[in-house]
């Protein structure tokens, strides 16, 4: 951990970016527990839960391409601050959702909140590479993953307690405050001058940039089309989200219907299912936090080893997902969840570090926006499919999870083929040079 603490001490810009992530993600997990509890209380429907996650995911898919253009043309810090402030106002609207007839209002506010999140996420993904040195990218992403997982564990645990004892409304207020505190920390970041791959400063006010503005979106796609290796890396999380999207719904059903925390009523907990869901998110946080740290210690930071880490992430995710289909109690559910999230955390961190390492700054916002849009699309499809299989098709919980295990195996095999194709160029060290140099000049 000394390496990560040193990174925070010597780099105040990354430190403030990290502080903003801590409070924002803490509030987010307060929000997701409260939202799931509120939907379950008002509707008790798997499809309604699917619609909740769709309201979270689809706006990210629709607006991410536009957000990528903004992240590449304008001040990324200002984009993040505006997004935080507007989200703080939006989540307060959840306080007016009180009966089943208000569910539509809840979905609309959720869609607005995550439309604003679509502005924040590509900008932040690009900023990480602006404020840390190339050799620190894996450490920075691993620290981000550890922070995400810790806030998942702590935020979900405390969010479950707050929702169980005080109701969902208190959690929504805490989430609103967290966005304002995040905006404060991000406001203290001093971004260096951004540079394109050929060394020219990026200036959104320059005539050449303004003239090309209408083609920014297509230019980003053209870059990815000419760089199939980078396109494949950008699709890695989308492949994984075909699995974990449905699991978001299934975990709620596991908690409420199969394994509610027994004996919790003796401690004044009104909703044992919410308490179980909090435990599931706690162990998910442990898995996603520990996985990247262990893998980085074993594999290192070179691009070919990062690629191997992504492959191992797919394998471990498949093992954990298959195990989830076989669980027979809360204990094995939590162990299988740790296994699955060890894989997803590794996949997430190593693929992000790869993109930040080899994508030129002038395209970085659009590449991260494309990645984010792709994963939210596949996550939405998976989420809707999970709710459909539970409610409409009437499949047992374990059967639905077994289907997800099969999907995970298919994605692992496809990724394995992709890795095999690029194994020799990676070993030869050709991929980063080609991605940053020749094609960047050809497209620009």
Q: Is the pTM of this model over 0.85?
A: no
Q: Which stretches of 352-402 are assigned E, i.e. beta strand?
A: none
Question: Do the domain assignments include residue 131?
Answer: yes
**Which residues does the chain have with pLDDT short of 70?**
1-3, 29, 44-47, 49-50, 53, 149, 152-153, 156-157, 159-160, 163-164, 167, 193-218, 260-274, 424-444
What whole-number distance in Å separates Cα of residue 157 and Cα of residue 151?
Answer: 9
Question: Do the domain assignments include residue 196?
Answer: no
Closest CA to 112 of 101, 104, 122: 104
Question: Do the domain assignments include residue 430?
Answer: yes
> Are 255 and 277 spatial neighbours (Cβ–Cβ below 8 Å)?
yes
Closest CA to 361 of 130, 139, 189, 123: 130
Domain around 291: 11-188+215-443
What whole-number distance in Å separates Cα of residue 261 and Cα of residue 164?
Answer: 12
Structure tokens at 360: 């030129």
Quote the pLDDT of residue 140. 82
Question: Do the domain assignments include residue 298?
Answer: yes
Quote the pLDDT of residue 267. 41
Question: Do the domain assignments include residue 209?
Answer: no
Quote the pLDDT of residue 362. 79
Quote the pLDDT of residue 429. 55
Sign of CA dihedral 291, 296, 298, 302: positive
Question: Do the domain assignments include residue 19?
Answer: yes
Question: Do the domain assignments include residue 399?
Answer: yes
Task: Count the domains in the chain.
Answer: 1
Quote the pLDDT of residue 262. 61
Quote the pLDDT of residue 40. 72
Quote the pLDDT of residue 266. 44
Give 195's strand partners: 201
We report the CATH number of the domain holding residue 415 as: 1.20.1250.20
Question: Do the domain assignments include residue 4?
Answer: no
What whole-number distance in Å separates Cα of residue 197 and Cα of residue 277?
Answer: 45
Structure tokens at 419: 């890795």
């Amino acid at each position: 951990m000394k390496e990560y603490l040193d990174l925070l001490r010597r780099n105040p810009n990354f430190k403030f970016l990290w502080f903003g992530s801590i409070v924002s993600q803490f509030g987010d997990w307060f929000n997701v527990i409260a939202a799931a509890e509120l939907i379950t209380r008002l509707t008790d429907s798997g499809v309604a839960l699917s619609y909740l996650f769709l309201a979270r995911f689809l706006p990210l898919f629709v607006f991410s391409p536009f957000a990528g253009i903004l992240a590449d043309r304008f001040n990324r810090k200002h984009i993040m601050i505006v997004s935080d402030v507007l989200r703080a106002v939006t989540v307060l609207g959840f306080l007016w959702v009180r009966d089943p007839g208000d569910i539509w209002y809840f979905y609309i506010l959720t869609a607005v909140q995550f439309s604003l999140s679509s502005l924040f996420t590509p900008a932040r993904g690009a900023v990480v590479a602006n404020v840390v040195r190339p050799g620190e990218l894996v450490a920075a992403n691993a620290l981000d993953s550890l922070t995400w997982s810790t806030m998942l564990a702590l935020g979900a645990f405390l969010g479950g307690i707050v929702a169980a004892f005080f109701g969902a409304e208190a959690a929504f207020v805490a989430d609103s405050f967290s966005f304002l505190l995040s905006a404060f920390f991000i406001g203290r970041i001093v971004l260096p001058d951004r540079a394109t791959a050929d060394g020219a400063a990026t200036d959104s006010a320059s005539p050449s940039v303004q003239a090309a503005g209408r083609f920014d979106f297509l230019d980003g796609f053209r870059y990815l089309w000419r760089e199939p290796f980078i396109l494949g890396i950008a699709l890695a999380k989308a492949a994984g989200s075909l699995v974990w999207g449905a699991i978001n719904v299934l975990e709620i059903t596991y908690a409420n219907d199969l394994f509610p925390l027994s004996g919790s009523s003796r401690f004044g907990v009104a909703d044992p299912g919410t308490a179980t869901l909090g435990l599931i998110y706690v162990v998910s946080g442990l898995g996603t936090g520990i996985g990247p740290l262990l893998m980085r210690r074993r594999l290192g930071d070179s691009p070919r080893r990062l690629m191997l880490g992504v492959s191992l992430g797919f394998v471990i995710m498949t093992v954990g997902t298959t195990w989830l289909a076989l669980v027979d109690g809360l204990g094995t559910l939590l162990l299988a969840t740790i296994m699955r999230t060890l894989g997803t955390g590794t996949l997430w961190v190593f693929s992000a570090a790869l993109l930040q390492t080899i994508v030129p700054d002038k395209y970085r916002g659009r590449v991260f926006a494309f990645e984010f849009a792709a994963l939210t699309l596949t996550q939405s499809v998976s989420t809707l499919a999970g709710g459909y299989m539970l409610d409409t098709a009437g499949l047992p919980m374990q059967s639905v999870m077994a289907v997800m295990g099969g999907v995970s195996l298919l994605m692992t095999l496809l990724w394995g083929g992709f890795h095999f194709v690029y194994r020799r160029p990676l070993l030869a060290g050709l991929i980063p040079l080609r991605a940053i140099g020749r094609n960047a000049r050809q497209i620009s």
